[in-house]
Amino acid sequence: MATLPVNNKQADILLNKLKHLGRFWSAWFRSPGSVGAVAPSSPSLAKAMVHALGDIPDGDILELGPGTGAITHYILQLTGRHVIALEKDHKMAAKLQQLLPKLEVLQGDAQYIPELLSGRQLAAVVSGLPLLNMPHEIRENIIAGAFEAMHADGVMVQFTYGPNQPIPVDLTDALGIKGKRGKKIWNNVPPATVWRFTKPLSEPKQMEQSDQPVDQPPA
């Protein structure tokens, strides 16, 4: 019986993709509510997330919910920064550390970012967490903690599958955060939109009319 020729490189790529997808679905079945996607993020979405960071201050980058490392790989490759991945699922965290030895992996809950980082200041946060699926209190703890752990001019990047921003407006208003819609990635499954969030630096208060120095008559 004749056998079809096998391209070893293509076979390895296919096998790696199947393993990647298998780890993703394994994590989904263990905790469906904590996995925000129906499939690992595409390279196009990963690159768009990193590009959306723009100019960021010196310091480390924290990734929330790295999962199988679909976005993590591009953060490491394209930024050259020290990257910390915070993963709640202990099996995913261990596998991610094995796949990316240069990555610093923390296993824990994103509600406690400042405590887990022990006071380290971040340049940026890249999040793949399903924020809109979470209870309000948990979502607020994560976002407030992320901005507490960042430098004043730090940046948070988050994607969403829906039409609205992934951090509700009432929460961004309460925390003094501004969101900017970025690129729509149509070839992701499902299509996703990237958002960039910052906390505008407070501007010096202009002197009110009543604060103006008043000329005093000579004594």
Which candidate, 71, 112, 66, 72, places its Cα nearest to that of 89? Answer: 66
Confidence of residue 215 (pLDDT cuts 50, 70, 90): very low
Our CA angle for 120, 150, 79, nearest 5°, is: 90
Contact 37/128 with Cβ under 8 angstroms?
yes
Q: For the segment 31-66, what is each residue's pLDDT rounded down to a tens digit?
A: 444 445 556 779 999 999 999 999 999 999 999 999
Residue range 33-198 in CATH 3.40.50.150: yes
Tokens of 219: 């004594």
| Confidence bin at 13 (pLDDT 50/70/90) | very low
* Per-residue pLDDT tens over the stretch 130-140: 999 999 999 99
Block residue for tokens 């261990």: 94
pLDDT tens-digit readout, 66-116: 988 999 999 999 999 999 999 999 999 999 999 999 999 999 999 999 999
Preceding amide of 190 cis, omega within 30: yes
Between CA 87 and CA 59 the distance in angstroms is 20
Give me the residue spans of the domains in the chain. 33-198
